[in-house]
């Protein structure tokens, strides 16, 4: 790994320094430099603002899963940074998230599906396969892996896999609602976030569902010109570098796939990664090509200069891919 890049990342915001030390330099959590960076991260006003907002969980009624301002995406972001139930006020947030568990197992969000889409048109607690796995994987990362409620959610969601990946599935409260696609097709985003959940459960890494999910995403890449299930394309927008890793785009897909050792050896994975590598500037830094306006105050929320945050996400994938 390029020492110059590491130096540059270490000069970034506290969360970038912290994750660089832990993920790229493999320094232990007990290392004084890691502890200092983590302490700075927790005190950062932007992190404090996310925590304050999440303390009001669940916030607004869900209208678009893609919206980067959705609380469940913000929960995923702080979980990825390494915040856990031992950090105030994360314990309080986790408790609120887990207060609404469905009979099936997944945790619910307040949702409103209009009647013309097959819903009731009323605000109600429900889950869908495009939010439930994100919440579950966040809870696992935050230290709730052994909690029986989390285990039951993982088991139920894992059991929804089909021979071609995960479908567009929703809780009974949402009636006949389904995304714009054929019933028998896999939902690429649901498959991606389900794999993200399995990535945090070591014993499921080599299981049948993980193998199916990985193959689904890699096949969709290989056939990206012909196949666009549920209108998820792997075209120009998909290939733009963007952070945080929330939706169906090249970095999010690579980040998830790179956590499965055997997936990293696949030539389709390598082809996708090569495409990203070629976007680096002469110093190995990466510039955002697309942004979430809800995150415009972050260093990856602009398209004018290289972003340390985005570069860190790419470097983390490259490090995994090199092992």
Contact predicate 74/83, CB 8 Å: no
Q: Where are the alpha helices (DSSP H) in the chain?
A: 3-10, 14-19, 32-43, 45-54, 71-81, 90-97, 132-139, 148-158, 188-199, 208-222, 250-257, 267-277, 308-321
- Identify the pLDDT of residue 116: 67
| Residue at 174 is within a domain | no
Count of structural domains within the chain: 1
- Identify the pLDDT of residue 228: 80
- Identify the pLDDT of residue 69: 73
* Residue in the block written with tokens 């998820």: 232
| Structural domain containing residue 24 | 1-43
| Residue at 26 is within a domain | yes
- Identify the pLDDT of residue 56: 94
Q: Point out the residues of the chain with pLDDT beneath 50.
A: none
| Residue at 200 is within a domain | no
How far apart are the C-alpha atoms of 234 and 222, rounded to whole Å?
Answer: 10
Q: What is the pTM of this model?
A: 0.94
| Residue at 78 is within a domain | no
Q: φ, ψ for residue 29 (rounded to 5)?
A: -60, -25
| Residue at 140 is within a domain | no
- Identify the pLDDT of residue 142: 98
1-20 burial, b at 16+ Cβ within 10 Å, e below that, comes to eeeebeebbbebbbbbbbbb
| Residue at 280 is within a domain | no
Number of residues in the chain: 323
Burial class (CB in 10 A: 0-12, 13-18, 19+), 46: middle
- Identify the pLDDT of residue 177: 67
| Residue at 1 is within a domain | yes
- Identify the pLDDT of residue 178: 67
| Residue at 231 is within a domain | no
Write the pLDDT tens digit of every residue in 256-265.
999 999 999 9
- Three-state DSSP at 126 gives strand
- Identify the pLDDT of residue 204: 95
């Amino acid at each position: 790994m390029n020492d110059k890049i590491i130096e540059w990342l270490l000069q970034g915001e506290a969360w970038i320094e912290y994750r660089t030390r832990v993920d790229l330099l493999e320094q232990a959590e007990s290392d004084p430099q890691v502890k200092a960076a983590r302490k700075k991260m927790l005190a950062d006003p932007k992190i404090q603002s996310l925590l304050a907002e999440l303390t009001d969980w669940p916030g607004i009624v869900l209208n678009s899963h893609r919206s980067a301002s959705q609380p469940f995406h913000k929960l995923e972001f702080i979980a990825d940074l390494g915040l856990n139930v031992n950090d105030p006020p994360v314990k309080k947030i986790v408790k609120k998230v887990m207060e609404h568990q469905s009979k099936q197992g997944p945790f619910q969000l307040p949702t409103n599906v209009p009647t013309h889409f097959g819903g009731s048109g009323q605000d109600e607690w429900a889950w869908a396969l495009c939010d439930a796995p994100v919440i579950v994987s966040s809870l696992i990362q935050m230290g709730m892996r052994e909690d029986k409620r989390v285990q039951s959610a993982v088991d139920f969601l894992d059991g929804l896999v089909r021979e071609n990946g995960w479908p567009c599935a929703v809780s009974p409260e949402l009636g006949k609602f389904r995304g714009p696609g054929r019933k028998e097709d896999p939902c690429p985003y649901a498959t991606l976030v389900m794999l993200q959940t399995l990535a945090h459960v070591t014993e499921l890494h080599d299981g049948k569902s993980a193998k199916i999910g990985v193959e689904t995403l890699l096949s969709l890449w290989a056939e990206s010109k012909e196949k666009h299930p549920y209108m998820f394309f792997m075209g120009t927008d998909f290939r733009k570098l963007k952070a945080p890793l929330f939706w169906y785009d090249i970095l999010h897909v690579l980040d998830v796939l790179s956590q499965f050792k055997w997936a990293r050896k696949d030539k389709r994975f390598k082809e996708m990664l090569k495409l990203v590598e070629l976007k680096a500037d002469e110093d190995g830094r990466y510039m955002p090509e697309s942004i979430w306006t809800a995150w415009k105050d972050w260093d990856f929320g602009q398209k004018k200069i290289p972003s340390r945050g985005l570069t860190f996400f790419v470097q983390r994938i490259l490090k995994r891919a090199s092992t």
